[in-house]
Amino acid sequence: MTIDLLFDGRHIRASGIGIYSREQIRHLGSWAKDNGVRAAVLGAPDELGQTVRQLEVVSTGSKRAPMYSLREQLIVAKILRQTRPRAFWTPHYPYPALSLHTRTFVTVHDVLHALPRTEGGHGGAKGAYAKSMLRTSLDRSAGVFVPSESTKVEVQRLFGVSSNLHVAPMRIGSAWLQAEGAVLSPRRRPGKDYLLFVGNVKKHKNLVGLLDAFAMIQDKINVDLVLAGGAANVKNQDKEVFRRLRTLQGRVHLMGNLSFQELRNAVGGAVCLVMPSLYEGVGLPPLEAMSVGTPVLASDIASLRETCGHAAQYFDPTEASSIAESILKVIQTPGLRESLSAKGRLHVRMRESSIDPLLPLKIISERFL
């Protein structure tokens, strides 16, 4: 019996793509059962674990292929030849270029890699690869899903208008909305109030800007700064960030990658979450913060305006002084934190309830199943 839909779950342990993959897989099993569809997930069984439950698993075998590599293309092509699914859905922009006869759907979260260096992209060979793959996805895919209107605008700015584009907004992980109990104090937090940054040290995350802003005001506030997630590996990843951290010793704390409960506790215990990104496709951390009542300060960029609406306080991410002023305002203005917290809780509930999580599956079904 032919597989109707094969979902690429190879990157389920990645950050943003992993969250997206887990949410799609969570809906895939029940949707397939209700619609009489044979669905399967591609990936390593030990990584997929209980995520797949009632779904079949198509194993990638013992060979692991780095993202964006030729080996990745070869392995995916071999699996698609063997399984011959009626449709293949990959949650990342590299198109299976060696599988020309497979009806493929692609999710493009952002176009950062294809941007010129002046806009924060890779440039060079990596940038050329990203442009080629994105162009191929737009030209050959049966459908391309993007998580926001701002990403759609960016795709069209770089590649022109495409009838293949479908805006399918991305929900936050369901566990954020299910966990409604008390938020505990994180065990590894500093001994006093703290601002929180969640993310990695990639340039577009603008950690340098946040650290410069914090340095400007550290003597004016009795609040520390906590960096959670991949940003803890700064020593080997970004010399500029590491240099700034050395001058802020004792006031900036690295928590590293956290379990869900640890992260929820860290977010829920923060004075506010600061999202200083120069570029985002969507930006989930602000929504996660809002779900537990933590105020959000965010960059005034199109994607975060779309994501956070009127429930965040915005600043100019290109000016450290603007970030600093925003932090001071939320700490020193009576009632502002409470107001942002209330707006955030309402906003995230309304946003999540307005999103149809089955929209991509409905589009796939209407077109080819």
CA distance 180 to 291: 9
CA distance 35 to 21: 20
Give the model's pLDDT for residue 188.
54
Residue 353 CB neighbours (<10 A):
9
Find the mean pLDDT for residues 279-289. Answer: 93
Residues 6+ apart with CB under 8 A from 243: none
What residue ranges define each of the domains in the chain, with the CATH number in brackets?
5-174+355-368 (3.40.50.2000), 175-353 (3.40.50.2000)
CA distance 115 to 129: 11
Residue closest to 13 by CA, chosen among 205, 186, 287, 257: 257
Residues 6+ apart with CB under 8 A from 222: 192, 193
Give the model's pLDDT for residue 149.
95
Residue 361 clears pLDDT 80, i.e. is over it: yes
pLDDT in tens, 327-345: 999 999 999 999 999 999 9
Phi, psi (rounded to 5 degrees) for 92: -150, 155
pLDDT in tens, 135-166: 999 999 999 999 999 999 999 999 998 888 99
Q: CA angle 117-213-271, nearest 5°? A: 115
CA distance 223 to 272: 11
Instruction: Identify whether the C-beta of residue 284 lies closer than 8 Å to the C-beta of residue 342.
Output: no
Helices and strands per DSSP (H, E), number in the chain: 14, 13
Q: CA angle 260-301-12, nearest 5°? A: 30
- Tell me the residue length of the chain: 369
Which of the residue ranges 5-19, 85-99, 109-123 has the most confident prediction, judged by mean pLDDT? 85-99
Give the model's pLDDT for residue 220.
95
Statement: the pTM of the whole predicted model exceeds 0.85? yes
Residue with tokens 């796939």: 364
Average pLDDT, the chain: 89
Find the mean pLDDT for residues 224-249. Answer: 77
CA distance 212 to 127: 29
Which of the residue ranges 53-57, 180-184, 275-279 has the most confident prediction, judged by mean pLDDT? 275-279
Residue 107 clears pLDDT 90, i.e. is over it: yes
What percentage of the chain reaches a pLDDT higher than 90?
63
Residue with tokens 């439950």: 53
pLDDT in tens, 183-213: 555 555 566 799 999 988 888 999 999 999 9
Instruction: Identify whether the C-beta of residue 273 lies closer than 8 Å to the C-beta of residue 285.
Output: yes
Answer positive or negative: Cα dihedral of 225, 229, 235, 239.
Answer: negative
Give the model's pLDDT for residue 288.
95
In whole angstroms, how far apart are CA 315 and each of 153, 327, 349, 359? 22, 9, 24, 33
Instruction: Identify whether the C-beta of residue 363 lies closer than 8 Å to the C-beta of residue 166.
Output: yes
More confident residue, 231 or 22: 22
Instruction: Identify whether the C-beta of residue 168 lies closer than 8 Å to the C-beta of residue 360.
Output: yes
Residue 39 clears pLDDT 90, i.e. is over it: yes
Residue 62 clears pLDDT 70, i.e. is over it: no
